[in-house]
Every structure is written in C-alpha cells, then in structure tokens.
Structure 1
C-alpha cells in the first residue's frame, strides 16, 4: 500500500511539474512574439508611436521599454532598449521631468519606471532618476507643490481635509485621479522610494477616499456603500460646486444597505480597483487591514478577464496591465472567487496567460477591443499586455 501511495504521489507531482513547464513555455512564447512585434514598430528616432509634429508621449516608449526590461533575457544593453532609453532621456526637462510640453505627471511617472529599471547598466539613466523623483514629488496635491506658474494646474498645496489631498492628476482637468496616481506610485516604487515614505502615505488618503467602502471612507458619495472597489476620482473637476462629489467612469449602481434601504452610488470598476489594490501593496498595508479585506471582497465578486469589470471593453488593456501588476505585487498564486454563493480558487497567472494567448494576433500584437483612452494604438495595447504578462511570468518563476 505504501508503495502504491508513493507511486500515486510521484505521478501527481510529475504531472504538476509538466503542466507548470508547459505554462511557462506558453507564457514565454506570447512574450517573445509581443517583443518581436514591438521591435518591428520602433521609429528611427528610437521611440515608439512617435509623432513628427509633436507633442510626443515618451510614456508610450517608457511602457515598451519597461515591458522589455522585465524580460529575464533582456537588459539595457539590448539595441532596441538602449535606443528607446536614449529617446526617453531626450525629453528630460530642466525641472527634472520627462515630458514634451503636456501631461508632465503621466509621462514622467512611466518614463521613471523605465529608466529606473536600467539604472544599473546605463549611467545616463541613473542620472535621470533622482531629478524625476524630486519633480514627481512636487506634483502631489498637499505637498509643497512649488511649481512654476505655467504648471500651477498640476498641483497646489492643500489641507488634508481637501478632497484632492494626496492625489496626482493630468493637470488639464485641474483635479487628481487614480489612474495618474497609480503610475506615479509605480514610478516611485521602481525608483526605490519605500512604502512608508510620507508621499506614499499622503497618497493613501486619496486612495481611501476613492474606495467605495463606507467603513473606511467618510466622503458623502460613499455613504452606506459596501462595494469595496475603487472609483476614478474624488471630484470630476476643480470647480467649486463639483468638489468632493466623486467620479466614476462606470456610472452609478443601485446598492442595498444594511437597514434594507437602497440608493444609487458611484460604481466601482475593475481597472481602478486593481490600481488601488496594487497601491495598497506598495504602501505595505497588511492582509488584515479593513481596506484590503474590502477590496478583496470586491475582487472575489467581480473576478473576470473577459472585460474591464463594471465598464465592459473600455480601457480593457489598461485593466490587464494593473491586474497583472496588482496580483504579482501581493505574491499569491491563487485568488478567491465567489460564484453562486460558493468560493473557488483561480490561478490568476494561468488565467492571464490563457487570455493573452487568445487575444494575440499573428503579428504578435493584440486585438483591439475598444478604441477609448488611446487603445486603438496596437503599440500601446501590446506594451500594456507585455508588462502584465511579465508580471505573470515573475509569479510563475517564483513557483520553481
């Protein structure tokens, strides 16, 4: 009997190892094909999605380079990567930012991630890291925000009670949002800023206020809400009459409260929820923290890679990006999923690899599913997908 049990166990372990090896190979194939496609799309300037007339978005090149540098077989000496990094650094400004006239926070944050990953092999990249970090710190609402007059819409000093406190935005709408904040935090993390840094802790205030969870969020728009997921911003604009009313790109949802009543509340949705979940990991929140418990409950009830949950196909590949980063950051193989009042476990990395296999086209790019938020650009959606995939591959390698 003992010999039979040993044989069964050995066979099971062999099958599991074979399945793991097959998944690794599948993930590498998708990554290799995506990288080949991106290499074929590099502009003679060294960048991607370059526009001769400008202004340019060096952030797109930053995303491509980041995806490549996350590959275990590629470093900053790779010709495509080195040219991409030089392109990024050509947009360095005297204020430390990396941008071309517009969207200073978005471009600098994403480019910082790329050059920070290359700092050990490229001295020019190393030189750009700390000035970019210092510049980004000035873009946070509630910091000293000592920006030049031309950039005063980016951020201003505000008290903790202000709805904008701790946030980061594009500038053009005059208010911060979670999309910019997650890239901003990712850039700081990649540059080596610790999770207990005061800037990160200020960001937690904004994150709490965009989580639809009444037990931890005192904003009026979250009253009674038990969704647990995140919305886009605390305000749709900087106009006085819109301060603190919240904003969700997913519209409204009818919620039932503990006292039996119902009311319309801003709907939490996938991309912002995983962005918030990732940011909580960087800020070193514990598993037992009520904010983490609440967001996990939302994920359990809304887990899907077929859409950006709550909003459909809009921003789908951005959702894939933050999903991969968030799940990898928490370092867990399985995610708990609630289906028909029963809890199941899903291997998130396997699910992600399988979904990206389905979406990858013959040329290595990924199928366009929605054109909103620049996702008609195959380079952008392929870069998003590659970064998500590289995070899944990191998780898969940790299992060996």
Structure 2
C-alpha cells in the first residue's frame, strides 16, 4: 500500500466528510509545484483555490513567519499589535480605504462587511433599512449569512431557513439591479469578477453604473475581492481596473500568501459604526499572521508580481483560445490576469480527474467551467507544460465523440 493510500484510509475514518477530496496527499511545495507523500510532482494551476498567489512557500513569507514565531505568536486584540498596524497602513495606502478590520477568512470578512453596512444604515437611515442585494451565481462563503448572501441555490439546500434581508439579481444586468433597489435596501454586494460562479466578467461600465446607483440612493457598495484581490487580476485589487471605488472591500485567500487571514477595508465615514463591542475576532490580525501578510503584500507591490500576472495571463489566455479554435466542445475562454475560465458544453469533472492523474491540478466550477488560477509567479514554460497536458486530454475527448 502506498503512503498516500495509508493517509487516505486514515482520513476517511476520522476527518469530517465535508469535502469531495481527490486522491492526492500533499507533502510539500515549491513555487508552482506541489509534491505528494509518494514523491509525485503536480503542476499547480489551482494554487490552493487562489490562495498561493506567490507559489508554495515563498521565501520572504516563510522568513517572516519564522522570525515572528520566535518572538510572539499571538496577542489579544485588547492590545496594540505593531505588525497589524503596519499591515493596515499598507492596505489603506494602496486602496480607497481608511480603516481595516482583521479576521481569519473570507466569509468572516464578508460577515463583517454585512454587519457594517447594516449598522451604518441603522444609525443613519433607520432600522428598517437592512436589505443587501447580491448577484445570481455569486459566492460569499459558507456561514449562514454567507450562503444567504450567495446567489447559488446548491449551497443553500438543507440549511433553510435562510437569513432574511438578501435579494439576488442577475450579474451584469444593471436594469435588474436598479429595479431591485427599494426603501429597505442598504447595500449592494458584488464580486468584481465572479470566481466560483464560473469566472464571469462584468459588462463594460456595469460597475460604474452600480456605483452611481449607490450614490443616488445612499447605499453602500461592497466589493467581495476574497478571490480576485491581491494581484489575481493583474492589479493589486480588481476594482482598480474599473475606474470605480467601493465603500467596503473584503479580502482573504492570498492576503498572506498561504496562512489564513481576512480583512475588511472601509472608509472612515462608515467604519465608526462598528465601535467597541460590536464586532471582533480572537485571532484576527495576530502577530504571526499579520507578519506573513505584511511580507506577502510587499512582494506583490515590489517584486514585479503584478506585471508578471498581466504578461503570463495574456499568454495563458491566448494559448487557451488556440485550444478553443481546435476543439468544438470549448464554448468560451474568459478572465482577467490569472483567473481564467474555459467554458465547455460538456461536464468538466472527469477532465479534472484525468489532469490530476497526469500531474496537473485544475478544477471545474458550475459543472462546465474549467478554472485556471495558478500562482502569479508562473512562467511561460510552465504554462506550456500545462497546455500540453490539457491538449492531450482534449484530444482524447474529441476522439470519443
């Protein structure tokens, strides 16, 4: 029996079965490559689901963790934490924001954003103004508030009743959004690019129109950049490519290049609504995680990562479009930077499994969209290796038709 199978059998016995896991037992990683416990190498175009934006074990992040681990692992947020303060300064300097609340994950950041929007509206517009409009096919996390906000029925099944105060409209349909706004609406919450929903890009001018709609109706605009922030689209934050700024933005996934940390960034005008005692997080922004995030942010800003994302993103998209021209089951290639979706007219799940067997990690979302979110440090040679594996799989599927 292989080492992998031994671990899999143990895991199936005691670990909660909340994931449909693939038969890969991770051991270590370096750059864009992941190794299993049997020594097999995998070219990682999933990157921990857009978490390892700097690749596996980036040396500057590892060094920051090692140095901080020898000084102080955790300190209560009852006290001031220098690493957290420096990270907040950096995030605000390079965004629209003035204040940062730190937590542990994307859904926690989204919960904080929803609470802030409702509390601010409660204090300024009345207690009945608490409705948040989100988009069909959106994904905002798996807590009860997260799935209530999410515009996908499959994540809600079995967990009724949903929390009240959420409304969903088609992504990219401005007139539907305008019609949905009512006297109880307090905020609009959108992903600038939908990730889990199939890598959906908004129409030109859509987000600008949403910003104007919010301004006209005194609504808060929330951008969920949990998946597309931290360089994923080729700019530090996805909204920066749209000529529009939100009132609140949420981050997590790649913020620390691997370790778990989330953040909600807001304007000074709104931030005060969550005063002492209204919200909190035991581990949010603790010294260890803030140090890792601080190191990762400096790499994003100083080491050419964003430029590489734009360059290799264009290269990857062009290579995928060549496959689209060659294989008639490919419907569309879409994306920005290094979040790219390839929509098929057939289910993609088996292709993901075959890719795994051949040493390539990708995934499929909404059943028919292959999603490519490699580390932002990927190079063209590694993209070529991925394309070679993928085309081999496509050729076999074409023969079966």
Tell me the TM-score range normalised by the shorter chain: under 0.3
Q: What TM-score do you get using the length of structure 1 for normalisation?
A: 0.26
Q: What TM-score do you get using the length of structure 2 for normalisation?
A: 0.26
Q: Which has the higher contact order (CA 8 A, sep 6+)?
A: 2
Looking at secondary structure, tell me which structure has more strand per residue. 2
Looking at secondary structure, tell me which structure has more helix per residue. 1
